[in-house]
Structure 1
Amino acid sequence: MSVQLFEGKDHAAAYLQYRVAPHELISRIMSFMEKRTPNQFKLAADVGCGSGQGTILLAPFFTKVVGTDISQAQLEMAQTTSSPPNVSYRQSPAEVLPFVSGEVDLVTAMTAAHWFNRMEFLLEADRVLRPGGCLALLSYTMDMELEYKDQSDMLNKICKEFYAALLPFRDPYIGSSSKKIYLDMFESCSYTDKEWNECLRIKNPMPLSSYIGMVETFSTYQKLLKKDPAEAKRLSDDIRNKLLSAMKVSSPETEVTVVLKYFCWLACKP
């Protein structure tokens, strides 16, 4: 069974507001598929879809896209947004997907598979994929960087303080490195046609407040928030003020560039 987090309505709302969608990686996934089974894109399943930012990016390429998630709060938030008519959502664990065997052209999980029962999920993905269907798992490391004028080095020293303060609250289920989880899953996948892509740096301009908001959606911050709300607020405020001081600005709505370091692996079922 998947680890159940991200259940609260406030957390789900923040997830929708602050999490970014991996536009660049969707084109990479579709390029991988088109080289193997062109013009066979009927059904995509986005597993652990959360509030649906990634799910809707698949809509132009498939007849039907279904986002699944174990969290009802996340799915309710996904349904508050304007989705293309071919996108729908269903509540289910990642290890028991609501599809018949061999029905799905693409199974993907975007920044979610590290929470699944990984071997059960791989078996279930294999069950629902058709021959020639593809599996795409992607995520990013938590050491996001900031770029702002000539202050980037100083900003990133402050960001490392933020991450270090949250490290003790990392869930033991994902251990010290989520990348290792994905590498282990990649090695466990029996498909011979597969590829690993590492350190795809994707830049996202956003207000500084949105960067802080994104970090606050992480499970580590949410655990601190639950344990000690005053300390969680103090930490966020302290990091925000240090960043503003380094940038020599007063408004947290000042735009910075957030650099996310994605990795992903792709595989085609024989």
Structure 2
Amino acid sequence: MAVRLYEAKDHAAAYLQYRVAPHELISRIMGFMGEKTPNQFELAVDVGCGSGQGTVLLAPYFTKVIGTDISDAQLEMALVNSNPPNVSYSQCPAEELPFASGEVDLVTAMTAAHWFDRQKFLVEADRVLRPGGCLALLSYTMDMELECGDISNTLNDICKEFYAALLPFRNPYIGSSSVKIYSDMFQSCLYPDKEWNECLRVKHIVPLNGYIGMVETFSSYQKLLQKDPAEAERLSDDIRSKLMSAMNVSSPDTEVTLVVKYFYWLARKPVILTG
């Protein structure tokens, strides 16, 4: 990876506990793959796999799934996860994948590609993909929303306070907009068969503490935590208290609907016809 983060063990453990798995996106990826080659696929590689929440979702569709990551701590958490027998993990940079040219059916990166050396990664993904193989990159915007009856707007005003407080700690490598990063990567991909999807709203029922915990896994929160642990804790406690007050509840385990806004793009490597 061009930027190394998520390597502390406690951060990796929180990542495994709180990050949501993109079930709906997997079905979109497999639908795109099945349009041209509807057979059972051999090998999927999930790059920047983290603790493996997305990696394991690929298992039903492939003979073998390999998650790769640069972080020892993340891969340790991935191995703690409940893994199907056809899922394994490998430590390597995103730009140096340990696969032969043309060996891979699917290369995917789930909420990770913005940390890569993006052009080198695209070249490497092209190298390992077989003709007709697919590349799938997905992520989501930071401005997740909460839904709870007629107080959703109030809750989201509080959420915006959380995001605004973390904005100064956003890593400059990803700039002000992750969407632009992925859009630029999409534009630079020369595969003619590709599609861009700006927003897919996915809803999850989570405890209020689950929402707080997820935001705390963001790199911007982790940067604040390193700089000023007391301020980071105060911020989380303040947002939690405000949300509980708005909901008129006494327990942070009270469930709420979390809306995650995904964006993603899919591309198919051309098949070169001969003869």
Partners of 1:14 and 1:239 lie apart in 2 by 18
Q: Does 1:181 align with 2:181?
A: yes
Q: Is the 8 A contact 1:151 1:246 kept in 2?
A: yes
Q: Does 1:115 align with 2:115?
A: yes
> How far is the alpha carbon of 1:10 from its aligned partner?
0.1
Offset from partner CA, 1:20-75 (integer Å, 9 cap, x none) = 00000100000000001121510000000000000000000000000000001000
State the match for 1:62 in structure 2.
62
State the match for 2:244 in structure 1.
244
Partners of 2:166 and 2:94 lie apart in 1 by 27
State the match for 2:273 in structure 1.
none
Partners of 1:118 and 1:36 lie apart in 2 by 27
Q: Does 1:32 align with 2:36?
A: no
> How far is the alpha carbon of 1:214 from its aligned partner?
0.2
Partners of 1:169 and 1:98 lie apart in 2 by 34
Equivalent residue runs for 1:100-139 within 5 Å: 100-139=100-139
State the match for 2:72 in structure 1.
72
| Structure 2: 5+ residue stretches without partners | 271-275
Partners of 2:74 and 2:5 lie apart in 1 by 10
Q: Is the 8 A contact 1:51 1:74 kept in 2?
A: yes
Q: Is the 8 A contact 2:40 2:61 kept in 1?
A: no
State the match for 2:51 in structure 1.
51
Aligned residue for 1:67, secondary structure, equals: strand
Root-mean-square deviation (CA), in Å? 0.6
Partners of 1:38 and 1:133 lie apart in 2 by 12
Q: Does 1:42 align with 2:42?
A: yes
Offset from partner CA, 1:95-124 (integer Å, 9 cap, x none) = 000111000000000000000000000000
Q: Is the 8 A contact 1:7 1:73 kept in 2?
A: yes
> How far is the alpha carbon of 1:2 from its aligned partner?
2.2
Q: Is the 8 A contact 2:208 2:252 kept in 1?
A: yes
State the match for 1:196 in structure 2.
196
Moved over 4 A (4+): none
Q: How many residues align?
A: 270
Aligned residue for 1:94, secondary structure, equals: coil
TM-score (norm. length: structure 1): 0.99
Letter in 1 for 2:157: K
Partners of 2:12 and 2:173 lie apart in 1 by 21
Offset from partner CA, 1:127-152 (integer Å, 9 cap, x none) = 00000000000000000000012110
Partners of 1:42 and 1:27 lie apart in 2 by 17
| Structure 1: 5+ residue stretches without partners | none
Q: Is the 8 A contact 1:40 1:105 kept in 2?
A: no
Letter in 1 for 2:241: N
Aligned residue for 1:63, secondary structure, equals: strand
Partners of 1:258 and 1:198 lie apart in 2 by 19
Q: Is the 8 A contact 1:66 1:89 kept in 2?
A: yes
Letter in 2 for 1:29: I
Q: Is the 8 A contact 1:48 1:109 kept in 2?
A: yes
Partners of 1:2 and 1:207 lie apart in 2 by 34
Partners of 1:219 and 1:77 lie apart in 2 by 18
Letter in 2 for 1:160: K
Q: Does 1:234 align with 2:215?
A: no
Among all aligned residue pairs of Structure 1 and Structure 2, give the percentage whose two residues are the same amino acid. 80
> How far is the alpha carbon of 1:240 from its aligned partner?
0.2
Partners of 1:198 and 1:99 lie apart in 2 by 31
Partners of 1:62 and 1:2 lie apart in 2 by 28
Aligned residue for 1:49, secondary structure, equals: coil
Partners of 1:260 and 1:195 lie apart in 2 by 20
Aligned residue for 1:102, secondary structure, equals: coil
